[in-house]
Amino acid sequence: MKIHLPNSAWIGNIDPFLRSFDSSDKSRLDITSHHEWVSVHPCVLCMMVSLGMAIKESGGTLNFQKMTATSKHYLQRIGVFKLLQLDSEMTVTEHEPSGRFIELTQIKNSEDLNRFITDMIPLLHSEPEQVEPIKYVVSELVRNVFEHSQSKDGALVCAQFYPRSKIIRIGVVDIGIGVKNSINYSYPEARDDLSAIKLALTPGVTGTTRRIGGTESNAGAGLFFIKSIAKVNRDFFMIYSGNAMYKLLKSLSAREIRLNADPFEDRCSKHNDFPNWQGTVVAIDLSIKKDKNFEDFLALIREAYRKDIRELNKIKFKKPRFTNGN
């Protein structure tokens, strides 16, 4: 396998990076980088480190080409070389990350997740109403990994916070069974990765049951809620699994926000011909502004969810009526 860290790879322009990923030859991983500057979304770092850890665990070969870009110090500080157990050949003064970033962290169980959330909140220096969306997004995405991915190594999480623009970028990655294999437990008609992603983003659909609305413990609305938070906030959201990638594009500011149960009705880009990613990659950008209220978000999102479930049930249970003689 080969992965190259470009000079720029954020959700908005991530397509070239994903297409450059070489998923062949799973016995080795070659990592290269732009020679001058590397500026990438946290999900890109999570992907790279997840692959590197998996290769080393399986006894394969990991080759991390020596970096010449000055941004190698950032990769050192955020924990890339530590998790890959590589000598960075650098000595870096580790300044307090408060208000700037959340290091690459492997989360294997609920205790790890609770500890991560507890440690994460003080770093943001934000008001409670600004922190709630972040807590929800991270908790829900990691819980999805626990419940659906079957990844023995859990999830790799990373985040970068930009105090000036009030944007936090979050990446959550696993090397598990992928969205299609998870959804197919209950929805075998999802014949390709993109149709599986569409189902995963549809409220009331979960791989744990075919029952509309899910179960008491899994309503099948987590990814729909997260996508909707990004949409209401006019931010980016992306999910990549197997050969498919779905990207929610920023809503046009002049238009009224409408939450669609069908993710393909949103302003988005979608492809089913990317290099194969064995598990699932999720990335989201969240604008944290004081005029935003998370409870208002959830009220709007829950109403859209309830309305869609009602409509789905009408479709499912409405039966044709006949009269004698007709």
Nearest to 80 by CA among 51, 59, 108, 58: 51
- Six-digit token string for 239: 């999910």
Nearest to 89 by CA among 104, 73, 74: 73
pLDDT score of 10: 97
- Structural class in CATH, domain 2-317: alpha beta
Q: How many Å is the Cα radius of gyration of the chain?
A: 21
pLDDT score of 12: 96
* Three-class DSSP labels, the chain: CEEEECCCECHHHCHHHHHHCECCCCCEEEEEECCCCCCECHHHHHHHHHHHHHHHHCCCEEEECCCCCCCHHHHHHHCHHHHCCCCCCCCCCCCCCCCCEEEEEEECCHHHHHHHHHHHHHHHCCCHHHHHHHHHHHHHHHHHHHHHHCCCCCEEEEEEEECCCCEEEEEEEECCCHHHHHHCCCCCCCCCHHHHHHHHCCCCCECCECCCCCCCCCCCCHHHHHHHHHHHCCCCEEEEEECEEEEECCCCCCCCCCCCCCHHHCCEEEECCCCCEEEEEEEEEEECCCCCCHHHHHHHHHHHHHHHHHHHHHHHHCCCCCCCCC
pLDDT per residue, tens digit, the chain (326 aa), is 999 999 999 999 999 999 999 999 999 999 999 999 999 999 999 999 999 999 999 999 999 998 888 888 889 989 999 999 998 765 444 555 445 788 999 999 999 998 888 877 776 666 666 677 788 889 999 999 999 999 999 999 999 988 788 888 999 999 999 999 999 887 888 899 999 999 999 887 764 444 433 333 333 478 988 998 899 888 999 999 999 999 999 988 767 778 888 999 999 999 999 999 999 999 999 887 655 555 666 666 666 656 654 554 443 433 333 344 44
pLDDT score of 22: 96
- In the chain, the N- to C-terminal Cα span, in Å, equals 65
Whether the CB-CB separation of 63 and 28 falls below 8 Å is answered with yes
pLDDT score of 219: 37
Whether the CB-CB separation of 263 and 238 falls below 8 Å is answered with no
Q: Which residues are CB-contacts of 180 (< 8 A; sequence separation ≥ 6)?
A: 190, 192, 193, 196, 241, 242
Cα 216 from Cα 208, distance rounded (Å): 11
pLDDT score of 241: 98
